[in-house]
């Protein structure tokens, strides 16, 4: 679809970094200053619902989600991982893989809730440095899937 932000061919640096792209899916590291390590697994074709996929395609995207989750857990060492596939604002199949920390700005609420605290800048800097390791870790983990 022409107006779908996830159908765009290119990302701007403000949006994030393309980590990996396959025939059906891609993985991006979202540029979110409050949530370093936030990744998205995006289905390349514009489809709105998981049930629009074949069973094999569903298995494929979920395998990628789990591989990304494992890599994020390994690199970022979060207190919790949030997995979400909402699509209310952008009805294009995509999964959020978000490392959560007890001191993040939104914890214990969702990443889309109101801020409840400020994360100490020193903690954010450490997490941003860790997030720089994610592209290589995720690509390596995906390469071991096949």
pLDDT tens-place values along the chain, 146 residues long: 668 889 887 888 888 999 999 999 999 999 999 999 999 999 999 999 999 999 999 999 999 999 999 999 999 999 999 999 998 888 999 999 999 999 999 999 999 999 999 999 999 999 999 999 999 999 999 999 86
Q: Angle 98-19-14 (CA atoms, 0-180°, nearest 5)?
A: 70
Q: Which fold has domain 16-143?
A: HIT family, subunit A (3.30.428)
DSSP, residue by residue, 79-127: SEEEEE---SSS-S-EEEEEEE-TTSTTTTS-TTS---S---HHHHHHH
Peptide bond into 108 cis (omega under 30): yes
Reported pTM: 0.94
pLDDT of residue 57: 97
**What residue segments make up the domains of the chain, in order of their start?**
16-143
Dig out the tokens for 117 from the structure. Answer: 């605290």
pLDDT of residue 50: 97
pLDDT of residue 1: 64
pLDDT of residue 89: 87
The string over 28-59, giving b where at least 16 C-beta atoms fall within 10 Å of a residue's C-beta and e elsewhere, is bbbbeeebbbbbbbbbeeeeeeeeebeeebee
d(CA 145, CA 100): 25
pLDDT of residue 86: 92
d(CA 105, CA 120): 9
> For residue 16, which of 8, 28, 27 has the smallest C-alpha distance?
28
């Amino acid at each position: 679809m022409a107006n779908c932000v996830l159908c765009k061919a290119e990302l701007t640096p403000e949006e994030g970094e393309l980590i990996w792209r396959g025939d059906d899916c891609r993985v991006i590291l979202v540029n979110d200053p409050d949530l370093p390590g936030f990744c998205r697994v995006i289905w390349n074709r514009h489809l709105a619902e998981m049930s629009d996929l074949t069973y094999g395609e569903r298995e494929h995207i979920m395998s990628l989600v789990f591989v990304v989750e494992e890599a994020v857990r390994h690199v970022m060492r979060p207190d919790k991982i949030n997995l979400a596939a909402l699509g209310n604002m952008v009805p294009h199949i995509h999964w959020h893989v978000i490392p959560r920390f007890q001191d993040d700005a939104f914890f214990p609420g969702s990443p889309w809730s109101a801020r409840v605290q400020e994360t100490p800048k020193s903690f954010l800097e450490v997490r941003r440095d860790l997030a720089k390791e994610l592209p290589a870790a995720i690509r390596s983990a995906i390469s071991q899937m096949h």
